[in-house]
Homo-oligomer: A and B are copies of this chain.
Amino acid sequence: MGVTYRSECPIARTLDVVGDKWTLLVLRDALVFGRKTFAEFEHGRERIPTNLLADRLKRLVDCGLLKKVPYQEAPKRYHYVPTPEGEAVLPVIRAMKDFGEKYLEGKAPVA
């Protein structure tokens, strides 16, 4: 909230929203693997720490890329499901997948 984007550039803005090591992975799990619950996101292959997962889910909900939908009472439980805006990031995820497959397979990481 209340923070400003670094610039008017749409690329910079996109990075301000999803430009970190986990956010797009959470979105991938939601969009391509259909994961919905906290536990489903948590137990993906990359083992995101629970505090970061909670934070990323909250952010994604706050900025309108995911929405919380209740699926159970007592105790209240929620599914995290992509909004149309959330689905709109699929092309960037696909582009990353293509890039990763073409250039990063079997290649040692540098950083």
Contact = CB atoms under 8 A, between A and B. Distances in A.
B14 A99 contact: yes
Contacts of A85: 103
Interface string A5-27: 11111111111110111001100
Which of the four size classes fits the interface of chain A?
35 or more
B10 A99 contact: yes
A56 to B, nearest CB: 10
B25 A21 contact: no
Contacts of A11: 24-25, 28, 93, 96-97, 100
9 contacts: A2-B108, A3-B110, A3-B111, A14-B97, A19-B19, A59-B111, A63-B111, A92-B99, A94-B95
